[in-house]
Amino acid sequence: MNDKIEKVAQWIITSKRTVVFAGAGLSTESGIPDFRSPGGVWDRYDPQDFYFQNFLSNETSREKYWQMATEMYEPMKKAQPNPAHLAIAEMEKLGKLDCVITQNVDGLHFKAGNSEERVLQLHGTAMHVSCLNCRKSYDRDMIQERLRKTGGKAPRCDDCGGFLKPATISFGQSMPEKETEEAHRRSSLCDLFIVIGSSLVVHPAASMPLVAKQNGARLVIINRDPTPYDDMADAVIHGQAGTTMAGILEKLREKLKQDG
Ligand code: APR
């Protein structure tokens, strides 16, 4: 393990463009369950029930969606960045981070100190709500309060009566164009691509490591469980994101100090 941490830190040092790709496994140590681990979101809910088309089609599906979304939002609201988030933010401060491509909607990259322009949120954000019709944006806590008062009735837009939904991307919903294009571009240009805490099974997000590898980048995977891309990776660490990234940051600082 230590050899691999040493090696990854050295690769970051020599890298001109390091991209970090984040999944739900990055935030479990902050108290937010992931999706596909035992006890994860899709262990408790059937993902088939939460396709975007369902949300659009009937009131019962919208209420069910908001019930699940409310349960997911509670731990996110009070969550704090863990050592893995803080290490990524520190990499930015040290000038060793090109960008973070994240599937996470919890906003913890920003709480950790990463700047807006260096974080590409591929699956949107749970931190605010928007109208699917007129795009009006609403504060999440205000809408949660409205849900509580109406006993879980699916909220509507005050301006146009449109359906309100957390600004996250559901299965079957189109990806945010600007972020997806930019993520693809940065993946194709980087020389080091580090995956942290993702099962790498949800596309098109999971195509980004492939784009990086096919364009000559080194691929590092830090994930507790095996992923379908482990065989093509240059280094695989099956460990906890927090301790692993804290170890890599420590080595990075040491090397930067040595290099003066
Ligand atoms: N450290 C390292 N790895 C971890 C940790 C941890 N502390 N906790 C969990 N993991 C790993 C798990 O082993 C799992 O392989 O993180 C991975 C999380 O995988 P998923 O739950 O599938 O999450 P993710 O890859 O982000 O899912 C992609 O699917 O449901 C949709 O929109 C949702 O963005 C999400 C997308």
State whether the beta carbon of 23 lies less than 6 angstroms from ligand 1.
Answer: yes
The pLDDT score that the predictor gives to residue 193 is 98
Map tokens 């492939």 to a residue: 210
Q: What is the pLDDT of residues 77-103, one digit of tens each?
A: 999 999 999 999 999 999 999 999 999
Amino acid in the structure at residue 153: K
Question: Does the structure show a pLDDT above 80 at 260?
Answer: no
> Does the Cβ of 128 fall within 6 Å of ligand 1?
no
- Side chain identity at residue 248, one-letter code: I
Q: What pLDDT, in 10s, does the model give residues 14-30?
A: 999 999 999 999 999 99
174: pLDDT strictly greater than 90: yes
Say how many Å lie between the CA of residue 72 and the centre of ligand 1: 14
CA of 260 to the centre of ligand 1 (A): 37
Q: Residue 25 carries which DSSP code?
A: G
Tell me how far apart the alpha carbons of residues 217 and 223 are, in angstroms, rounded to a whole number: 19
Above 90 in pLDDT, residue 259?
no
Q: Do residues 134 and 162 touch, judged by C-beta distance below 8 A?
A: yes
CA separation for the pair 21, 75 (Å, rounded): 22
- For 201-249, how does the pLDDT look when each residue is reduced to its tens digit (9 = 90+)? 999 999 999 999 999 999 999 999 999 999 999 999 999 999 999 999 9
Closest by Cα among 244, 231, 241, 197 to 5: 244
Give pLDDT tens digits for 21-58. 999 999 999 999 999 999 999 999 999 999 999 999 99
- What average pLDDT does the segment 185-204 reach? 98
Annotated catalytic residue within 123, 128, 184, 203: 123
pLDDT computed for residue 104 by the predictor:
98
Dig out the tokens for 237 from the structure: 């660490």
Model pLDDT, residue 217: 98
Strand partners, 139: 128
Strand partners, 193: 19, 219
Contact 25, 198 (CB under 8 A): yes
Residue 114 neighbours by CB under 8 Å, 6+ apart: 88, 89, 92, 97, 100
- How big is the CA angle at 106 (ends 101 and 110), to the nearest 5 degrees? 65
Distance 39 CA to ligand 1 centre (A): 12
H or E element: which one contains 148? helix 140-149
Give all strands (DSSP E) within 99-207, no chain letters.
99-102, 119-121, 124-131, 137-139, 164-168, 192-196
CA of 37 to the centre of ligand 1 (A): 7
Name the residue with tokens 């954000």.
Answer: 125
Least confident of 90-94, 124-128, 186-190, 256-260: 256-260
Distance of CA 224 to the CA centre of its chain: 16
Q: DSSP for 41-102?
A: HHHHS-GGGG-HHHHHH-HHHHHHHHHHHHHHHHHHHH----HHHHHHHHHHHTT--SEEEE
127-139 pLDDT tens trace: 999 999 999 999 9
In this prediction, residues 157-177 reach a mean pLDDT of: 97
**In terms of pTM, does the model score above 0.85?**
yes
Q: Is 123 a catalytic residue?
A: yes
> Is the CB of 155 within 6 Å of ligand 1?
no
**pLDDT value at residue 1:** 82
Ligand 1 atom showing the smallest separation from residue 240 Cα: 1
